[in-house]
Chain A
Amino acid sequence: MHDLDDQQWRELLQRLRRFALWLTRDASCADDLVQATVERALSRGGQRREADSLRPWLFSILYRLFIDGKRRERRHTRWLAWFGRAEQNAVGQGGAETEAIVQAQAGLQAFTRLPTEQRALLLLISVEGLSYKEAAQALDVPIGTVMSRLSRARSALRELTEGSPPPPALRRLK
């Protein structure tokens, strides 16, 4: 990470932040997530990494931190529920910031309704331009899973965008 100049660093951060924002759908959560990611990367000797492998590596740290956080949150909610104090806003919390963006970009509404793992994958591949192998590393799944998840994510997005699920495609076999 020493090799990056300020401009490159800023761009990398913006990418991480965008990824985090669309995972968490909350700007302050996203900033915390990015900060935690960079701190972990620095403490794990990210200096020794090549510039081109740095990006998928950082994405993978961020995604893992996010998943861990989610798990913790779920456990926390379960504990609260156990003591009879269910949290009202635990489910479906979308920050005001992303809400505004979604309003402005009607098409994004469909995207936000995708499950987290599909959202993460589409972000990495379609927006960040990671290769399938890099995405598999970042999400810590086998490459076959990346392919099938990508297929599912794209058809789901298509369905949501068009508003109505199309009839199951029947292929005529000659």
Chain B
Amino acid sequence: MTRLIPTEEELHAYVDERLDSGRRAHVQAWLAANPQEAARVEGWRADARHLRAALAGLNEQPLNPQLDLQPLRQRLRQRRHRRLASAAVLLLALGLGGLGGWQARNITLIANIAPMADAVQAHRLFADATALDLKASAPAQLQAWLDTHFNQIGPLPDLGSYGFEPVGARLLSNEQGPAALLVFQDLQGQRISLFLRSPSARFERMPSGQRTEGQLQARYWSHGAYNFALVSAAGDVRGEEVRKALGVSL
């Protein structure tokens, strides 16, 4: 009767008690006949037993209370909520940042456009021209014309004290809506103009200020329902005084 020699795997399975009973008896018998192999297997078994015995003692250590199932589950839920909240905050921050960036871009774009640039342009085109809608030499005439076109405007001051007399006015229109250019002239033929229109969408509240563009100086401000610009020759000292008089009166 020949008996198959158990494989190495079977010997391990024997140590771990993973053989079915028939095979197990077979291996046992074979080991009884082969003491050298039996010693080897017994060595494994002893090692395993030793390991089990040595490590069994660890179970008496108190368990970390962090590892209790209920609080652990709760913590996990909290963390999930926190993570969702963080994601929401991140999304919100991105959205706000994007929106803010877009606004900033608009503002920068607008900042590159000089305020009341249209006033300076109108002055260049029409202040020296004779083609004015209205020829006026008396302030009252000019005031009447202004009142028919712009109903929310204050009285024009008398600029005669600064040496300026009305010349005329012209009704204009640009993408911001209707606008008016009032032209005044002094005895030397020096002309200044007052430009007024409704505020544009971009410059709802325009800060007061002034700037010089070539030979012209523009002083601009907002008041009431309109934006104003006084355009005079650069370096004309009367400009500032006229601007003040207009600012108080209109």
**A34 in contact with B67 (CB, 8 Å):** yes
* A residues with CB within 8 A of B: 1, 4, 6, 9-11, 13-14, 17-18, 21-22, 31, 34-35, 38-39, 42-43, 101, 105, 107-108, 111, 122-123, 125-127, 131-132, 147, 150-151, 154, 157-158, 161, 169
For A101, what are the chain B residues with a Cβ–Cβ distance below 8 Å?
Answer: 54, 58
Cβ-defined contact, B44 with A14, below 8 A? no
CB distance from A71 to the nearest CB of B (A): 24
Contact B63 A126 (CB under 8 A): no
With A18-B55, A105-B54, A157-B47 in contact, is A10–B76 under 8 Å at CB? no
B51 and A127 within 8 A (CB): yes
Q: Give the shortest distance, in Å, between B171 (CB) and chain A (any CB).
A: 73
- The answer on a CB contact under 8 Å between B54 and A108 is yes
Q: Which of B58, B66, B76 contacts A14 (CB 8 A)?
A: B58
Known: A43-B76, A107-B54. Contact between A154 and B47, CB under 8 A?
yes
B234 to chain A, nearest CB (A): 63
- Give chain B interface residues in 69-85, CB to chain A under 8 Å: 69, 72-73, 76, 80
Give Cα A158 to B51, complex, Å: 12
Question: Once the chains bind, are A42 and B73 in contact (CB under 8 Å)?
Answer: yes
- Where chain A touches its partner, the secondary structure class is helix
Pick from A9, A14, A122, A132: contact of B18, CB below 8 A. Answer: A132
**Contact A122/B58 with A9-B69, A38-B72, A154-B44 known, Cβ cut-off 8 Å:** no
Most buried by A among B13, B47, B50, B59: B47
Question: How many B residues, CB 8 Å from partner?
Answer: 27
Please indicate the chain A residues that have their CB under 8 angstroms from the CB of B47 in the complex.
Answer: 126, 154, 157-158, 161
Q: Are B58 and A18 in contact (CB under 8 A)?
A: yes
User: With A and B bound together, what is the CA distance between A48 and B168 in angstroms?
Assistant: 91
Please, how many angstroms separate the alpha-carbon atoms of A21 and B54 in the complex?
A: 13
Interface presence of B20 (CB below 8 A)? no
* 21 A/B residue pairs, CB under 8 Å, sorted by A: A31-B66, A31-B67, A38-B72, A42-B76, A101-B58, A105-B54, A125-B16, A126-B16, A126-B51, A127-B52, A127-B55, A131-B18, A132-B16, A147-B9, A147-B12, A150-B12, A151-B9, A151-B12, A154-B12, A158-B44, A161-B47
**B52, B58, B66, B72: the one within 8 Å of A126 (CB):** B52
* Contact digits for B33-62, partner A, Cβ 8 Å, 1 yes 0 no: 000000010011001101110110011000
Name the A residues within 8 Å of B73 (CB-CB).
Answer: 42
Chain B residue at minimum C-beta to C-beta distance from A31: B64
Min CB distance, A155 to chain B, in Å? 8
4 further A-B contacts with Cβ under 8 Å, apart from A39-B72, A123-B55, are A42-B72, A105-B54, A147-B9, A150-B12
Kindly report which residue of chain B lies nearest to residue A151, judged by CB atoms: B8
A122 to B54 CA separation, bound complex (whole angstroms): 13
In the complex, A42→B58 CA distance in Å? 25
Partner of A13, one of B50, B54, B63: B63
Q: Using an 8 Å CB-CB cutoff, how does the interface string of B1-45 with A read, 1 for contact, 0 for none?
A: 000000011001100101000000000000000000000100110
Q: Would you give the shortest CB distance from B72 to chain A, in whole angstroms?
A: 6
Asked if A18 and B59 make an inter-chain contact with CB atoms under 8 angstroms apart, the answer reads yes
* Contacts A151-B8, A158-B44 given; does A13 touch B51 at CB 8 Å: no
Closest residue to A14 on the B side, CB-wise? B59
